[in-house]
Chains A and B, each alone.
Chain A
């Protein structure tokens, strides 16, 4: 069966090496899988960098600490204990089982069999843990599927969670089960083939061997099918990520690292406006020269606020790629809870759809195939002509419903900030289009004329102090 012919080339390795045509095939498959993924990641990176510059450098230790707590440690997930525990199983399973993927890579490339088995008891611990985690992952995924499709969890509904996003969520769950089944097929067949001499501990597979045929040929084929299905499945899944909400398993880490360190109530100041205001107040103030193109000509001024994805900061676009559409933001949004159109999750999902419509789309997901129509089916205002993020995807009605209460920001397990994007689009509406609701225009002119958002005379501002007494013990 094994075409063993080069086993003497690497005599110092702690495991026997047997090259075969399978190894060459594996090398090609693995190279293609990782190469394709790298190509997709480059596209995503380019998409994120169409956003405006924003300096997020520095504070390395504080950022690493936060990444450790929030991304690696899933700190914010534990606000809701049931999904937190289920998610923890799948997350730990993902990390630990990937140690076994290292072994699969070595076995695949060098024709070894269970290359890490030289670790001895540690190997048994690793394989045994994987087996238990694999079984738990299947249970957790089943629970996830039930919660999502049957359980009536409100945040898994909503206009933005139909069509592709709904399908995507279930595909992820199915693939995870398939990967686990492949793992158990491989282990159980291997165990039945080699019996107790097989290195490792197999608390789950040992229960499954009875289900398998007993012919060694059939077992060997099953072991190979399980092995190939597991690793090819992982490589396919890896290349599915950039099209999927499941990309969060990678993007959550940079997203948390680059999330804001300032108080949530602090909104950005628009620098270009600062220069204008200072020049108005102080005629001697020198406004810095506008940025220039490489040829020395002045760059076109950027608009105030955001009309489209490239008007947002790159961190806002990074947010969009980190979103796993869990809907914790929307489920605590006071506007959404009381029936308004605003859904913070939709704003983030729209941002990703739009950036891929305007720039590069990944391999599988094509925004125009699953486009915004699905999300907007119940909405009226859609400007198909311009089709920018603002109006093409996000309507002013959604933006004006926001109370800026930061509940969405607080709720996001990976520190996505929908509020920043909402405010940037409000800025565009007000400063570039003068398109604020009329009552807000009245408020603006009250501030301008009376120094207060209400129409009171500034000369009455100190009237509260009239006839004021305090009781004192005599």
Chain B
């Protein structure tokens, strides 16, 4: 780009500081454990904050006051630990009078939105895909001309906890649509999407014995869509079933392609799958926020 870019440091606003100053943010950005600790997903957190800054959203984070929502404990059956975590977080939210929470993790999103109300925590909870879609619709994020992803082949992998769990299928796709990319669907997508293999606390344990790892199965499906290789679908299990999407058009271009995700665990599983298939040289896994931040030229 010909324009001169300046690098502005971001001082991420802490909820405690805002409260001390008697201010109230528009949203609380719930970072989540993966967003705070996982090196790969920290880049997503940073990309999303850049977008918030760019769009002049008045936001705040809890910083060290955040603690696990309890999702992995609950899915693993440890209801006691889940509720301990939930009550602790609800106490924090109530202390600050939080009303609106945005998070880049579908698991945190589902837990706070659906399972905290029964424990006394009622908030408007928004996943970052929906929030990005809103910013785009309001014209606060533009991505004029599609940015650097124009024409690049991208396939979106549905997170179970965003999709089937909460019926959010269109928001991430509408966000990706502004990139003007060659967006293709996998054979199993939306309500028929195949899990990456990490949900239900699988992220923290080895899979049970079987004939294949779930993330490898899903990655092969994504690669078949990206490569336009219908023949590769024959190696997958169960794709004949369901309201399967169309087989993507064949593709000869050697240009790199992208698996887009909107969940930290999907990110890990799909990245591992790409490594397993030795395709890191021409297939990358990005969160939708990273793609938007890059296309908007916000990285510095």
- Least CB separation from A396: chain B residue: B208
Given A431-B77, A474-B3, A474-B6, does the pair A403, B202 have CB atoms closer than 8 Å?
yes
Cβ-based interface call for B35 (8 A)? yes
Question: Count the A-B residue pairs with Cβ separation under 8 angstroms: how many?
Answer: 273
What's the nearest-Cβ distance from chain B to residue A415, in Å? 13
Residue in B79, B114, B192, B211 whose CB lies within 8 Å of A262: B114
Q: Are B70 and A447 in contact (CB under 8 A)?
A: yes
Q: Are A465 and B49 in contact (CB under 8 A)?
A: yes
Cβ-based interface call for B50 (8 A)? yes
Cβ-based interface call for B4 (8 A)? yes
Chain A 329-340, CB within 8 Å of chain B: the 1/0 string? 001101101111
Q: Are A464 and B217 in contact (CB under 8 A)?
A: no
Within 8 A of A (CB), among B183-218: 191-192, 194-195, 197-214, 217-218
Cβ-based interface call for A267 (8 A)? yes
Cβ-based interface call for B58 (8 A)? no
Cβ-based interface call for B272 (8 A)? no
Give the complex CA separation of A469 and B46 in angstroms.
9
- Least CB separation from B297: chain A residue: A471
Q: Are B205 and A440 in contact (CB under 8 A)?
A: yes
What's the nearest-Cβ distance from chain A to residue B192, in Å? 7
Given A266-B115, A274-B119, A474-B4, does the pair A340, B81 have CB atoms closer than 8 Å?
no
Q: Are B200 and A448 in contact (CB under 8 A)?
A: no
- Least CB separation from B210: chain A residue: A339
Size band of the interface chain A makes with B: 35 or more
Given A269-B115, A339-B211, A461-B64, does the pair A470, B78 have CB atoms closer than 8 Å?
no
Q: Are A472 and B6 in contact (CB under 8 A)?
A: yes
Within 8 A of A (CB), among B125-179: 160-161, 164-167
Q: Are B242 and A471 in contact (CB under 8 A)?
A: no
Given A263-B166, A464-B36, does the pair A305, B83 have CB atoms closer than 8 Å?
no
Q: Are B5 and A436 in contact (CB under 8 A)?
A: no
Cβ-based interface call for A406 (8 A)? yes
Residue in A341, A431, A447 whose CB lies within 8 Å of B85: A447
Residues of B with C-beta under 8 A to A454:
33, 37-38
Q: Are B160 and A340 in contact (CB under 8 A)?
A: no
Cβ-based interface call for B73 (8 A)? yes
Give the complex CA separation of A459 and B78 in angstroms.
25
Residues of B with C-beta under 8 A to A473:
3-6
Cβ-based interface call for A444 (8 A)? yes
Cβ-based interface call for A286 (8 A)? no
Cβ-based interface call for A384 (8 A)? no
Cβ-based interface call for B237 (8 A)? yes
Residues of A with C-beta under 8 A to B63:
461-462, 465
- Least CB separation from A468: chain B residue: B10
Given A269-B83, A277-B83, A439-B206, does the pair A453, B33 have CB atoms closer than 8 Å?
yes
Residues of A with C-beta under 8 A to B72:
443, 447, 453
Give the complex CA separation of A464 and B192 in angstroms.
35
Give the complex CA separation of A126 and B45 in angstroms.
65
Give the complex CA separation of A263 and B111 in angstroms.
11
Chain B 63-96, CB within 8 Å of chain A: the 1/0 string? 1101110101111111111011101000100000
Q: Are A471 and B77 in contact (CB under 8 A)?
A: no
Q: Are A263 and B165 in contact (CB under 8 A)?
A: yes
Cβ-based interface call for B300 (8 A)? yes
Q: Are A471 and B298 in contact (CB under 8 A)?
A: yes
Residue in A262, A276, A338, A436 whose CB lies within 8 Å of B214: A338
Within 8 A of B (CB), among A388-415: 397, 400-407, 409-411
Cβ-based interface call for B282 (8 A)? no
Residues of A with C-beta under 8 A to B6:
471-474
Residue in A266, A403, A452 whose CB lies within 8 Å of B197: A403
- Least CB separation from A265: chain B residue: B165
Give the complex CA separation of A85 and B242 in angstroms.
14
- Least CB separation from B37: chain A residue: A456
Cβ-based interface call for A426 (8 A)? yes
Residues of A with C-beta under 8 A to B22:
none
Q: Are A437 and B79 in contact (CB under 8 A)?
A: no
Cβ-based interface call for B275 (8 A)? no
- Least CB separation from B191: chain A residue: A410
Residues of B with C-beta under 8 A to A459:
64
Give the complex CA separation of A437 and B81 in angstroms.
16
Give the complex CA separation of A69 and B64 in angstroms.
48
What's the nearest-Cβ distance from chain A to residue B109, in Å? 9
| Residue among B45, B75, B200, B210 with the highest chain A CB neighbour number at 10 A | B200
What's the nearest-Cβ distance from chain A to residue B164, in Å? 4
Residues of A with C-beta under 8 A to B251:
none
Q: Which residues of A are in contact with B by a Cβ distance under 8 Å?
A: 79-80, 154-155, 262-267, 269-270, 273-274, 276-278, 280-281, 304-305, 328, 331-332, 334-335, 337-342, 397, 400-407, 409-411, 423, 425-431, 436-437, 439-440, 442-444, 447-448, 451-454, 456, 458-465, 468-474
Name 14 A/B residue pairs within 8 A (Cβ), A-sorted.
A262-B114, A270-B79, A338-B210, A338-B217, A338-B237, A427-B77, A436-B77, A447-B68, A447-B72, A447-B73, A451-B33, A451-B67, A463-B36, A470-B49
Q: Which residues of B are in contact with A by a Cβ distance under 8 Å?
A: 3-10, 12, 31, 33, 35-38, 42, 45-46, 49-50, 53-54, 61, 63-64, 66-68, 70, 72-81, 83-85, 87, 91, 110, 113-115, 118-119, 160-161, 164-167, 191-192, 194-195, 197-214, 217-218, 237-238, 241-243, 297-300
Excluding A274-B83, A404-B75, 8 further A-B contacts by CB distance (< 8 Å) are A79-B243, A263-B167, A270-B83, A277-B84, A332-B242, A403-B199, A451-B68, A454-B38
